[in-house]
Amino acid sequence: MSDYMKTDAKLLPYLPFPRFLLGADLTQTAKLLYAVLLDRANLSRANGWTDEDGNIFVVFPLNKLADMVDKGPTTVKTALTELEAAGLIERRRCGNGMPNRIYVKQPDSWEIGRLMDRKPATRQPENRPSDSRKTDRQMAGKPAPNKISNSNLKNNLSGVSESAHILGRYENVFLTEAEVAELQADFPTVWQEYIERLSEYMASTGKTYKSHAATIRRWAKEDRRNGKGVSDYSCKEGESL
């Protein structure tokens, strides 16, 4: 019998579902498969399943993967191809009669922004003529507007370009491709860390900035001038760029 959750309640077994998948331009089947493969990759890590380069891999026959997600083999094969095209997995053949090795990749902030910033397009239903399971229907692009979308967040911030990419763990840092390239050139070893720090700081304090690129650049220059690494970048109350 179902019951209310209490503070000491034990959670049910669950799959890791990265937050970026919620806004990624992927079919629901591809998102589910990525979560399943990520979970299996963690098991492979625990069991020491690594190749000669130390990369963790998963061995998951297609029919078993299809049974796990309750989809037909054709649909699963299409979703795997979709994940591979998005750069989220890599499949390597192991010879006749042997299942492929699947390498699960973890995107950085720039790749996450790319996955969430594709142009919307109508994606065809995931038809599976060979089985009788329900057909999945998914529209590419941003999620349905049952909450504030990333586009609305852009519009609510003055000075943010419509071409800006959405970056950071909390998806609240907006940088154009040119701004990212400049930060990479000027701060090649720490630019991503500044993006994550800015994202975390704004999410935890509620503060906003007119230019995220200028804010990162100012913090990085101040830290460099003071001989520090990425450090305390908070500004005084009421101060903003």
> Within this chain, do residues 160 and 215 fall inside the same structural domain, yes or no?
yes
Strand partners, 166: 174
CB 162 within 8 A of CB 152: no
> Within this chain, do residues 30 and 91 fall inside the same structural domain, yes or no?
yes
First to last CA, the chain: 55
> Within this chain, do residues 78 and 24 fall inside the same structural domain, yes or no?
yes
In total, how many domains does the chain have? 2
Question: Is residue 11 one of the residues assigned to a domain?
Answer: no
Q: What is the CATH number of the domain that holds 79?
A: 1.10.10.10
The parent domain of residue 169 ranges over 150-225
Identify the domain boundary among 116, 141, 172: 116
Question: Is residue 83 one of the residues assigned to a domain?
Answer: yes
User: Per-residue confidence at 170, pLDDT binned at 50, 70, 90?
Assistant: confident
pLDDT per residue as tens digits for the range 35-58: 999 999 998 998 888 999 999 999
Question: Is residue 46 one of the residues assigned to a domain?
Answer: yes
Residue with token string 């795997």: 80
Model pTM?
Answer: 0.50
List the Cα angle 196/26/170 in 5-degree steps: 20
Question: Is residue 102 one of the residues assigned to a domain?
Answer: yes
> Within this chain, do residues 107 and 185 fall inside the same structural domain, yes or no?
no
> Within this chain, do residues 105 and 165 fall inside the same structural domain, yes or no?
no
Question: Is residue 235 one of the residues assigned to a domain?
Answer: no
Buried b (16+ CB within 10 A) or exposed e, 178-187: ebbeebeeeb
Question: Is residue 7 one of the residues assigned to a domain?
Answer: no
User: Per-residue confidence at 228, pLDDT binned at 50, 70, 90?
Assistant: low
